[in-house]
């Protein structure tokens, strides 16, 4: 298995984490995002997140879409180029 730092050219922008009863959408550079409504949660030095609602409808919210656009801009990511990778990982808590 390849180490993460050997196949990622740039740092990831978002992450989804599935918990037993909910899903969180993480902004991995969340502290760099302007969030005047204070909808991003977290107090760490870098990451912020939102709890997904049923059917992930929150991702259609224009405000959340704006936060996502900011995160992409901060990361220097361009989804129109089609470059980048999707990395899937799985960990089972014991």
- Hey, where are the domains in the chain? 24-89
pLDDT tens digit sequence for 18-48: 988 999 999 999 999 999 999 999 999 999 9
How would you class 80 by CB atoms within 10 Å of its CB: exposed for 0-12, middle for 13-18, buried for 19 or more? exposed
| pLDDT band at residue 6 using 50, 70 and 90 as cut-offs | very low
* pLDDT band with cut points at 50, 70 and 90 for residue 94: low
Mean pLDDT of 59-86: 86
- pLDDT at position 5 over 90: no
Q: How far apart are CA 20 and CA 77, in angstroms?
A: 31
> pLDDT value at position 75?
87
Q: What is the pTM of this model?
A: 0.79
Helices (H) and strands (E) in the chain, counts: 2, 3
């Amino acid at each position: 298995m390849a180490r993460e730092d050997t196949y990622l050219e740039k740092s990831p922008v978002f992450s989804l984490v599935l918990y037993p009863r909910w899903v969180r959408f993480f902004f991995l550079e969340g502290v760099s995002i302007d969030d005047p409504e204070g909808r991003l949660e977290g107090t760490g030095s870098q990451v912020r997140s939102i709890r997904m609602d049923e059917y992930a409808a929150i991702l259609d919210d224009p405000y959340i879409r704006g936060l996502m656009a900011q995160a992409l801009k901060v990361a220097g990511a361009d989804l129109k180029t089609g470059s980048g990778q999707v990395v899937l990982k799985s960990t089972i808590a014991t």
